[in-house]
């Protein structure tokens, strides 16, 4: 980085929310032609900093200099006009509009003052092609999975003619191939002199692409480092405020466990027309099962079927030996089955309710409307999980939408852990959760598995699957193609089965 000209310079940024000091005098600078990673624990203030730079929030104090001029954008549109283009952590496009409209929103190509719909389509198709994505742009955004939506949001950001590109956890739902495609694109843009800010909790990705790393902790800046001179352990240590030795001792490996629990769920020939081919399935108490497969192989669909969101239309299923019919999430919950789905914003958080209400929701739904938990019980429960999972909040009465992304995810896990499920299905559960919290959560899960809870685990990081699971079910093209268990589980074995 020979250049010293900074493209963006934020100085002494302060932002306070009721009860939370989100940023306390943070300096942050990005130069042209670099990828700058912004790192920190959940709730460290990364997204808040981004939102201040891009005009979503107003700063309480500080100054932002962009391209030599002091700016203070009042809206995202203003920031875009200055030349700052952003992908936010929560995809903030319009679900009811078409993909094409979403990509060109606010910048529609015009002919004689009227929107040229042909132009809109063409531009959208081109923007998506840059990410090697070939989809029907006239379909509504909500038609597509969260991963595709994320790619669309990125395509939109890349399409804006900008000097600074900010990506807040853009890869949280993407699989390896898509990430590689994105990185290729980013490297090209970096070559063209764009400044790029990149936020993620995937440490590997940080080292793959970034030139410099800035670490935030509790709303303050820890420091800015050359990526090449900051070893991984040291980075984690600085993020969570421990020294590298302590971090090392945290990263212990799970030993392979022998599970001989009782049978919990057994299914024969369950499937759903147009979604999943019939499959057989067995889940034992205390077992950790992984679902492996490529994007679109039917992993999430399997979980959704078992949870009764898209119930099976064939075969039979028994729980604890008794024939059961799981035709709705309510029935699943009654049978002690829990699930967190991939799309947190749509299927998870009830944004205008408090953390406490969000946490008691599933428990209360299972108990029914007339067996109410007293406020005291509710606070006890919420406080217990806020502590156990390290949810960063002043108290349980905050609205859940005011939590940082990773902390929202923790609150959702708490919702299900609270009802002590017998089978917990997790679809990309640790996405957006920081390294420290990941360890905490794994600990909580392990304890529950000891007590007999079965875990069904979906992750596009095959590495994670092969490392954590007692048994792996492999899916391809909406069909279960086999199982691997115990000592035989390895990344290679899974890959081989998928490829065969």
Partner 1 sequence: MEEKQKIFRDNIFKRLFWPLMALGLLLLFNLIFTKGFFHIEMRDGHFYGTLLDILNHGSKVMILAVGMTLVIATKGVDLSVGAVMAVAGAIAALLIVQVESGWIFVQGCTLGGLVPFLNAHHMSWFLPALAAIMISLVAGLWNALLVAGFRIQPIVATLVLMVAGRGIAQLITDGQIITFTNRGLTFIGNGHFLFLPFSVWIALGVFAIVAIAVRKTALGLFIESVGNNETASFYAGIEAKTIKGFTYVVCGLCAGVAGLIAASNIKCADSNNAGLYLELDAILAVVIGGTSLNGGRFFLAGSIVGAILIQTLTTTMYARDVSPHVAAVPKALVIIIVCLLQSETFRRKAMGILKTFKNK
Ligand X SMILES: Nc1ncnc2c1ncn2[C@@H]1O[C@H](COP(=O)(O)OP(=O)(O)OP(=O)(O)O)[C@@H](O)[C@H]1O
Query: Which residues make up the interface to partner 1 (CB under 8 A)?
Result: 307, 309, 328-330, 332-334, 339, 341, 346-353, 357, 360-362, 364-370, 372-373, 375-376, 379, 395, 397, 415
How many residues of this chain bind ligand X (CB under 6 A)?
A: 20
Q: Tell me whether residue 322 or residue 369 sits nearer to partner 1 (CB atom).
A: 369
Q: Which region, judged by CB under 6 A, interacts with ligand X, from 37-45, 173-181, 286-294, 368-376?
A: 37-45
Per the CB < 8 A criterion, the answer to whether 478 and 297 are in contact is yes
Task: By CB under 6 A, tell whether 89 contacts ligand X.
Answer: yes
What does each C-alpha distance from 428 to 109, 169, 425, 460 come to in angstroms?
37, 14, 10, 7
Distance separating alpha carbons of residues 493 and 227, to the nearest angstrom: 33
Q: Shortest gap between Cβ of 378 and partner 1 (angstroms)?
A: 10
Q: Which residue is nearest to Mg ion (CB)?
A: 47
Residues 6-25 that bind ligand X (CB under 6 A): 17, 20, 22
**What is the four-CA torsion angle of 115, 121, 124, 125, rounded to 10 degrees?**
-160
| Binding partner of residue 48 among partner 1, ligand X, Mg ion, none, CB cut-off 5 to 8 Å per kind | ligand X
Distance separating alpha carbons of residues 190 and 295, to the nearest angstrom: 28
Task: By CB under 6 A, tell whether 402 contacts ligand X.
Answer: yes
The binding track of 112-151 with respect to ligand X, each residue x by CB under 6 A or -, is: ----------------------------------------
Alpha carbon 29 to its chain's center:
26
Q: Tell me whether residue 20 or residue 453 sits nearer to ligand X (CB atom).
A: 20
Instruction: Identify the residue among 149, 404, 459, 466 touching ligand X (CB under 6 A).
Output: 404
Q: Which region, judged by CB under 6 A, interacts with ligand X, from 38-46, 282-290, 298-306, 327-335?
A: 38-46
Task: By CB under 6 A, tell whether 40 contacts ligand X.
Answer: yes
Q: Shortest gap between Cβ of 214 and ligand X (angstroms)?
A: 12
Task: By CB under 6 A, tell whether 300 contacts ligand X.
Answer: no
Per the CB < 8 A criterion, the answer to whether 282 and 263 are in contact is yes
3-class secondary structure, 164:
strand
Instruction: Identify the residue among 7, 10, 47, 279 touching ligand X (CB under 6 A).
Output: 47
Q: Distance from first CA to last CA of the chain, Å, rounded? A: 46
Q: Which region, judged by CB under 5 A, interacts with Mg ion, from 41-49, 104-112, 285-293, 392-400?
A: 41-49
Q: Which region, judged by CB under 5 A, interacts with Mg ion, from 46-54, 186-194, 362-370, 378-386?
A: 46-54
Per the CB < 8 A criterion, the answer to whether 44 and 405 are in contact is no
Per the CB < 8 A criterion, the answer to whether 215 and 234 are in contact is no
Task: By CB under 6 A, tell whether 183 contacts ligand X.
Answer: no
Distance separating alpha carbons of residues 327 and 358, to the nearest angstrom: 24
3-class secondary structure, 110:
strand
Provide CB contacts within 8 A for 72, sequence distance 6+. Answer: 55, 59, 64
Residues 83-142 that bind Mg ion (CB under 5 A): 89
Instruction: Identify the residue among 30, 34, 46, 435 touching ligand X (CB under 6 A).
Output: 46
Q: Shortest gap between Cβ of 400 and ligand X (angstroms)?
A: 10
Instruction: Identify the residue among 40, 405, 429, 436 touching Mg ion (CB under 5 A).
Output: 405
Task: By CB under 6 A, tell whether 312 contacts ligand X.
Answer: no
Per the CB < 8 A criterion, the answer to whether 93 and 141 are in contact is yes
| Binding partner of residue 260 among Mg ion, partner 1, ligand X, none, CB cut-off 5 to 8 Å per kind | none
Instruction: Identify the residue among 47, 297, 354, 409 touching Mg ion (CB under 5 A).
Output: 47
DSSP state of 88: -
What does each C-alpha distance from 136 to 1, 187, 257, 415, 478 come to in angstroms?
41, 27, 46, 36, 21
Q: Shortest gap between Cβ of 392 and ligand X (angstroms)?
A: 5
Rg of the chain taking only CA atoms, in angstroms: 23
Q: Which region, judged by CB under 6 A, interacts with ligand X, from 42-50, 134-142, 349-357, 366-374?
A: 42-50
Task: By CB under 6 A, tell whether 238 contacts ligand X.
Answer: no
Long-range contact pairs involving 253-262 (C-beta distance under 8 Å, separation at least 24): 253/467, 254/446, 254/467, 254/468, 256/470, 256/486, 256/487, 257/470, 258/486, 259/284, 259/286, 259/287, 259/288, 259/470, 260/284, 261/285, 261/286, 261/287, 261/452, 261/454, 262/320
Instruction: Identify the residue among 8, 44, 141, 236 touching ligand X (CB under 6 A).
Output: 44
Please choose, from the candidates 34, 35, 27, the residue with its C-alpha nearest in 3D space to the C-alpha of residue 2. Answer: 34
DSSP state of 399: B
Cα–Cα–Cα angle for 467, 42, 25, rounded to 5 degrees: 145
Task: By CB under 6 A, tell whether 202 contacts ligand X.
Answer: no
Q: Which residues bind ligand X (CB under 6 A)?
A: 17, 20, 22, 40, 42-48, 89, 392-393, 402-407
């Amino acid at each position: 980085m020979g250049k010293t000209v900074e493209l963006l310079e934020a100085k002494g940024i302060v932002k306070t929310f009721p009860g939370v000091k989100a940023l306390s005098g943070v300096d942050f600078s990005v130069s042209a032609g670099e990828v700058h990673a912004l790192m920190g624990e959940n709730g460290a203030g990364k997204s808040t900093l981004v939102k201040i730079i891009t005009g979503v929030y107003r700063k309480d104090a500080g100054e932002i200099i962009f391209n030599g001029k002091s700016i203070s954008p009042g809206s995202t549109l203003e920031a875009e006009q200055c030349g700052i283009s952003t992908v936010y952590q929560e995809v903030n496009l319009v679900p009811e509009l078409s993909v094409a409209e979403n990509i060109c929103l606010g910048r529609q190509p015009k002919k004689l003052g009227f929107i040229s719909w042909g132009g809109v389509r063409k531009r959208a198709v081109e923007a998506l092609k840059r990410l090697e994505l070939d989809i029907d742009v006239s379909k509504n955004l909500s038609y597509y999975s969260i991963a595709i939506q994320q790619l669309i949001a990125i395509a939109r950001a890349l399409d804006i003619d900008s000097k600074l590109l900010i990506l807040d956890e853009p890869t949280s739902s993407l699989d390896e191939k898509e990430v590689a495609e994105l990185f290729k694109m980013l490297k090209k843009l970096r070559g063209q002199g764009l400044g790029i800010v990149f936020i993620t909790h995937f440490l590997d990705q940080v080292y793959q692409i970034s030139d410099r790393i800035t670490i935030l902790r509790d709303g303050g800046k820890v420091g800015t480092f050359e990526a090449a001179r900051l070893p991984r352990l040291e980075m984690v240590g600085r993020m969570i405020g421990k020294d590298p030795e302590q971090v090392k001792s945290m990263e212990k490996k799970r030993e392979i466990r022998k599970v001989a629990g009782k049978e919990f769920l057994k299914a024969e020939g369950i499937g759903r027309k147009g979604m999943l081919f019939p499959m057989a399935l067995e889940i034992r108490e205390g077992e950790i099962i992984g679902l492996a497969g490529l994007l679109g192989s039917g992993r999430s669909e399997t979980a959704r079927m078992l949870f009764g969101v898209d119930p099976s239309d064939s075969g039979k299923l028994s729980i604890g030996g008794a024939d059961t019919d799981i035709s709705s999430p309510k029935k699943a919950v009654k049978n002690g089955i829990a699930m967190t789905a991939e799309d947190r914003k749509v299927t998870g958080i009830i944004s205008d309710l408090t953390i406490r209400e969000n946490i008691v929701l599933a428990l209360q739904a299972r108990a029914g409307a007339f067996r109410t938990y007293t406020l005291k019980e509710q606070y006890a429960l919420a406080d217990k999980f806020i502590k156990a999972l390290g949810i960063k909040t002043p108290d349980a009465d905050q609205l859940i939408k005011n939590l940082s992304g990773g902390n929202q995810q923790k609150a959702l896990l708490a919702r299900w852990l609270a009802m002590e499920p017998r089978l917990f299905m997790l679809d990309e559960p640790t996405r957006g959760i920081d390294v420290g919290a990941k360890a905490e959560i794994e600990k909580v899960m392990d304890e529950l598995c000891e007590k007999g809870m079965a875990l069904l685990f979906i992750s596009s990081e095959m590495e994670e699957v092969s490392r954590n699971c007692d048994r792996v079910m492999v899916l391809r093209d909406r069909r279960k193609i086999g199982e691997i268990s115990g000592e035989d589980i390895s990344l290679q074995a899974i890959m081989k089965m998928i490829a065969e």
